[in-house]
Amino acid sequence: MGDFNGHVGKWIQGFEGVHGGNGIGERNVEGRMLLEFCDEKQLCMVNTWFRKTEKRKVTFSAGGNETEIDFMLVGRKKTESI
């Protein structure tokens, strides 16, 4: 678990084994770097695999902006039991 300040966004293009398609917002450079790291290390972002309301996805809020920047990373082999 970590605070990566990366916005991975809603879309999974190119990161199907990493991103579950349930993120929020747009992807930024740090988010892409985090996705690439996860792909290289065979990790997935388990909190993007579960459908939640937009409000429940938010892990950071400031100045009227809400985003998801905290992710639970788990080895892909371990996700079979989740």
Q: What is the pLDDT of residues 41-60, one digit of tens each?
A: 999 998 888 888 877 778 77
Q: Is the pLDDT of residue 81 over 70?
A: no
Q: Which two tokens stand for residue 49?
A: 């695999």
Domain ranges of the chain: 2-77
Average pLDDT of 11-20? 91
pTM of the model: 0.81
More confident residue, 60 or 3: 60
Largest CA distance in the chain: 39
pLDDT band at 82 (very low <50, low <70, confident <90, very high): low
